[in-house]
Structure 1
């Protein structure tokens, strides 16, 4: 059994290595095309029409390996991973991250099983290791979305001033795209490009909602779509939305202060068992080694870790208050 698992791990590692080399070669070619396109745009030319479709197809590919890309296109998990990568503005393809997760799972599961002879422990720790790439992407996405949310009130204020000064809605979005950095500048620029190239404004704004996970942005998109159908003072509407977002920030700050005690308690309760285990191991190594050298001890340790994980998730859900 272990020999077969080792063979699978070796095969996956070689496959990932070859795929990584191919990805590096193609990424180098993509950078050259980006430089050329950037220079043409700097000279005032429009977007390249001949190779534009190929660039879009390559950027939306699941993997640089054709047959693996066709396989991933049929999986819903790969589509969710692609959306996560897009929202995190991370490099790489869904196939690369999924392969990385598979390799981490197999390697850690094999090592844990070889050291402890525990199938349950190997599956548990392998699953934790396999989820690391997804956790990394979620961390990048949350950081980027938080920055977008923090930029949104100032961007809406700039649009309000631009509208009051006589600019069109597209002109006010262009000012945001020019004056603000990533992520809100990049996302608004992409939305504006979609509108300028013939996409319906309602559809372009809905695409913006799909690319950005920001509840406050929904107020802006819905209000703009309603105003386009019924009319009204758009500058005043956007100004009220900016004020509403700032009030939500203030309420969220109060909630964070009130939930800080619960978070600290969760951190202490989570770290306390591990700290006690380390201290007991230093005091009486023979006593604590029973948890790792006997089947009963390993079972107790895995049950304890599972119950602790369930407790941490419960506490996390209790202290996370949506505003």
Structure 2
């Protein structure tokens, strides 16, 4: 024990063993963390393979209320975009529309075009979200049918959800895969289904989620409830299709009226070059332009409201 060489050798071996054990623990922990990230990456509908742009902007934006709302809306659209990417693309589009309107029409129309560009970006997200919600609603009868079949076969609700996720196409398959992955890492059915209803809000999905949550908590005849719900969802699906067909002309009219106003301004400016610049060169002309644009916007909103029927 008094030999310094043996003490040094023993200390070296001990340090080597501890270092090897620590390295093994670090590598295994890193592999587990990466596997968890891979499983949860579907929650945001962002594949990990593509190189992301504007990561600094995205990191700062996610810490704000606007970024969190934008992330929630993007996750519901299924677009392969991060909040930072969408925000930067929107700013570039707004700047481009500002410059184009200012150069083609008059400098007064630059800020107006920028505001319209920002509104259009938000409208595009809402349209993509509603489009995905409609597609998901059309698949809800199949979701309820698969869940009923799995439950009647003796499978647990978690297993039935995973089976339905594997059987269905997008978007229902993708959304149920997110739910299945979240359940696999220990989250409760109430939380995961509640987030699904928040991402894709609709009356039909709320009814299905409420049925599943109540049956999971209190038990009961979940199979019979799901089979009855399947028939109801099929009927609502047909009703929604008929209503959408009847209102297609009204919706087309709502978009046609603003386009006619913009086309008239462009035609007037092309026939008499600089006419819009002269009109907007005085406060009275600017007020009249704003009033006319407001009337077009009001007409668009009123027609959309009249043609919006909740089923």
- Larger mean CA deviation between 240-249 and 102-111 belongs to 102-111
What is the CA-CA distance between 1:219 and the residue it aligns to?
Answer: 0.8
Distance 2:268 2:53 in 1: 51
Distance 1:226 1:299 in 2: 57
What is the CA-CA distance between 1:316 and the residue it aligns to?
Answer: 0.5
Is contact 1:105-1:127 (8 Å) kept?
A: yes
Is contact 2:106-2:276 (8 Å) kept?
A: no
Q: Deviations over 1:128-165 (max 9, x none)?
A: 22344434333332222221111110121122222223
Q: CA RMSD in A?
A: 3.3
Uncovered stretches (5+) of structure 1, i.e. residues with no partner: 1-46
Which of 222, 226, 236 in structure 2 is aligned with 1:238? 226
Distance change (3 Å), C-alpha of 1:234 and 1:190: same
Distance 1:279 1:98 in 2: 33
Q: Deviations over 1:276-300 (max 9, x none)?
A: 6677788xx34x9634443365654
Is contact 1:103-1:130 (8 Å) kept?
A: no
Task: Tell me whether 1:248 sits opposite 2:200 in the alignment.
Answer: no
What does 1:144-183 align with in structure 2 at a 5 Å threshold?
A: 144-183=132-171
What does 1:143-222 align with in structure 2 at a 5 Å threshold?
A: 143-222=131-210
Is contact 1:151-1:184 (8 Å) kept?
A: yes
For residue 104 of structure 1, what is the aligned residue in structure 2? 93
Which of 275, 294, 299 in structure 2 is aligned with 1:311? 299
Aligned residues: 272
Distance change (3 Å), C-alpha of 1:135 and 1:299: same
TM-score by length of structure 2 reads 0.73
Q: Which of 1 and 2 has higher RCO (CA within 8 Å, sep 6+)?
A: 2
Which of 44, 65, 71 in structure 1 is aligned with 2:60? 71
TM-score by length of structure 1 reads 0.71
Secondary structure class of the residue paired with 2:32: coil
Uncovered stretches (5+) of structure 2, i.e. residues with no partner: 1-29, 47-51
Distance change (3 Å), C-alpha of 1:85 and 1:272: closer
Distance 2:140 2:265 in 1: 47
Off by >4 Å, runs of 4+ in structure 1? 52-61, 63-67, 114-117, 267-282, 296-299
Is contact 2:95-2:114 (8 Å) kept?
A: yes
